[in-house]
Structure 1
Amino acid sequence: MSKRTEKTIVDIAAELNLSVSTVSRALNNNPNISDRTKEKVRKMAGKLGYRPNTMAAGLRNSKSKTIGLIVPKISMFFPATIITVVQNKLQEYGYHLIICQSNDSYEQEVALVNTLYAARVDGLAVATTLYTTTFDHFDVFRDNNIPLVFFDRVPKHYQARVVKGDDYLGGYTVTEHMIAMGCKDIAHISGPVTCNLYIDRMAGYKAALKKHKLPFHKSRVFFQELTRENALQSCEKIFAAPPYPDGIFAANDTTAIAIMEYCRKIRLKVPEDLKIVGYSNDPRTEIITPPITSVNQFPEMMGESVVAALMTLIQSPAPAAGSYAEEIIPIQLIVRASSVGKTTKGSKQ
């Protein structure tokens, strides 16, 4: 088999009897080149199968026009929504997105950071793993003044831009809502407390109990990766023997849906016997019966803020390293039948 030869602007110029510089300017939509010439060049480029070498152009300009993005799991509703928004917004600025998945592995995250640095990305946005507690692998970006933005899962003490949800208020609002609905014994299924999300939601939960003079029981709190299987195992423990809680605050919607499934199995009525609230406002919470009360984290707003932070750093003449700024994305409780039992139509609180 013969090796395919890549066509260049030299080949286009030869076919059209134009100078290489004219072809280059035409392909870059230079206003000094006539529309007729641009059209001729584009048609010939298509005919020859010409592909622009964006990497070479990036090296010449010291810009790759690409942004790296690392998320724990692409399949989850919240990061998937953010990915879509970030990609669309970056395209408006002429940037492309390289999407990477850490699978909640610290080792994989470290490898991805190094890979994206070697790929010469112009900026990096990261939602860290559940188990990332040291952040020195990001120093290569910070020390070289390459824009770095953490979002959702973020470090508490690291000099970088941070875009995060108001998870403390989220945990507080959920718990206070359940108390207002008559709950006096609220269990909480949390994620690992190595992650800022669950530290803050747990703190909000405890603060609301304290305000309303309800006791906090360690036996009513579970720390785990928030999977369906782990949720069902926690339910086995919660409902092994009475007294049962009258409410469960689940730190994500996958867990809340699994709790609902378990309640059907043991014939426990929701919300009459048990009230359930999830977190993230996954679309599945609206179509399950009864629909599940959850917390809207506004992923679209977070995605837009991530891009805005990156563009500010990229376009700023000042060095990016060492600068710290934190943006808090609001939350909103979406009340549905799983916690009130009056309606199947979501209302906002």
Structure 2
Amino acid sequence: MSKRSEKTIVDIAEELNLSVSTVSRALNDNPNISIRTKEKVKKMARKMGYRPNALAAGLRSSKSKTIGLIVPRISMFFPAAISTIIQNKLQEYGYNLIICQSNDSYEQEIALVNTLYSARVDGLVVSTTLYTTDFSHFDVFRDNNIPLVFFDRVPKDYGVKVIKGDDQLGGYLATSHLIERGCRDIVHISGPLSSNLYVERVAGYKKALKQHSLPVRKDRLFYQELSRDHAWQTCEKIFAGKPYPDGIFASNDTTAITIMEYCRKINIRIPEDLKIVGYSNDPRTEIITPAISSVDQYPAMMGERVVAALMDMINATTPSTGFSQEIIPIQLIARESSAGQMKTKGKKK
């Protein structure tokens, strides 16, 4: 892939009519260099797309054969599964992978982007934080034609390659499935709407309700970080008073599993009294009793497509520009948590 020629401190020094040693000290925040000079040097460095060399000069080729990966949390099933696939596929092409986690911190994401840029990675793959709405910290990769691919949690209007699941369809199928099983009062527990995933899953939930002439109730929609603690707190709200819902669509499987634990505590039977569908097809959903219905996101397929897109960009003779999007299919996996018809409900429409 064609890139701009790498700029050095010599280029910066010539542009500013400063000595190379002054530029070097300014970039390293030497106390003997004035603040004004430091600011001037750093501004020019950003303008020229300068990347500090994190390794000793002469010990590397023009390519690092290394890719950077930023995920929200490596402890979650889907990012962990994707990371494994990406690493294995990259090794087939002779590339190593640096895996970083943002812990859903926007500030940490910015720091990691800058670190990986300074490490001179040959490409960057990102699933953003829940709260990333300004993507300007990725400009340094995009503007210098360094391959950049977003997956799963992705920007909507940022001119890069995006690979994502069909989340609106996933939300629609999960909710429709509950309706087809006799549910008429369905709660949806969503993540924050600052993330594309949950905007689309909520849209699918609402579409299914409207299609079946069921009301969209604000008191049946919850927005939160999808952790066990938050799920437990939401269950306390949902079941604080009757009537109880007869179905819950949870936007991740950790939340679905927590709902099941809470219902067992207060003697709500699943699936007789309440039916549950989760999202991501975490392996835990299959071994828990009763097994939980969930939406499979095909992480292996997504990981393979991410690497294929990255390799195409690296090997291209001209840089790719503009927004392009690839949608990975999803599938609803029906299990015991949503089986059968509700005993206390009428026939489905």
TM-score (norm 1): 0.81
SS in 1 for 2:258: helix
Q: Give the partner amino acid of 1:188.
A: H
Q: What corresponds to 2:266 in structure 1?
A: 266
Whole-angstrom distance in 2 between the partners of 1:341 and 1:96: 48
Whole-angstrom distance in 2 between the partners of 1:169 and 1:56: 50
Q: What corresponds to 1:138 in structure 2?
A: 138
**Judging changes above 3 Å, is the alpha-carbon distance between structure 1 residues 292 and 58 closer, same or farther for their aligned structure 2 residues?**
farther
From the CA coordinates, give the structure whose radius of gyration is larger: 1
Q: Give the partner amino acid of 1:86.
A: I
Q: What corresponds to 1:237 in structure 2?
A: 237
1:234-313 alignment runs, 5 A limit: 234-313=234-313
Quick check: 1:292–1:339 contact (8 Å CA) kept in 2?
Answer: yes
Structure 1, unmatched stretches of 5+, are 1-54, 343-349
Q: What corresponds to 1:95 in structure 2?
A: 95
Q: What corresponds to 1:338 in structure 2?
A: 337
Q: Give the partner amino acid of 2:333.
A: I
**Judging changes above 3 Å, is the alpha-carbon distance between structure 1 residues 66 and 273 closer, same or farther for their aligned structure 2 residues?**
same
Quick check: 1:166–1:331 contact (8 Å CA) kept in 2?
Answer: yes
Give percent identity, aligned residues only.
73
Q: Give the partner amino acid of 2:324.
A: A
Q: Which runs of 4+ in 1 moved over 4 A?
A: 55-60
Quick check: 1:85–1:303 contact (8 Å CA) kept in 2?
Answer: yes
Q: What corresponds to 2:322 in structure 1?
A: 323
Quick check: 2:68–2:116 contact (8 Å CA) kept in 1?
Answer: yes
Q: Give the partner amino acid of 1:177.
A: H
Q: What corresponds to 1:198 in structure 2?
A: 198
2:121 corresponds to 1:112? no
Structure 2, unmatched stretches of 5+, are 1-54, 342-349
Q: Give the partner amino acid of 1:101.
A: Q
SS in 1 for 2:131: coil
**Judging changes above 3 Å, is the alpha-carbon distance between structure 1 residues 237 and 316 closer, same or farther for their aligned structure 2 residues?**
same
Whole-angstrom distance in 2 between the partners of 1:97 and 1:170: 30
TM-score (norm 2): 0.81
Whole-angstrom distance in 2 between the partners of 1:234 and 1:75: 22
Whole-angstrom distance in 2 between the partners of 1:221 and 1:334: 23
Whole-angstrom distance in 1 between the partners of 2:218 and 2:224: 14
Whole-angstrom distance in 2 between the partners of 1:60 and 1:71: 27
Offset at residue 60 of structure 1 (A): 5.5
Whole-angstrom distance in 2 between the partners of 1:76 and 1:295: 15
Whole-angstrom distance in 2 between the partners of 1:193 and 1:324: 22
Offset at residue 95 of structure 1 (A): 0.4
Whole-angstrom distance in 2 between the partners of 1:336 and 1:255: 16
Whole-angstrom distance in 1 between the partners of 2:175 and 2:108: 35
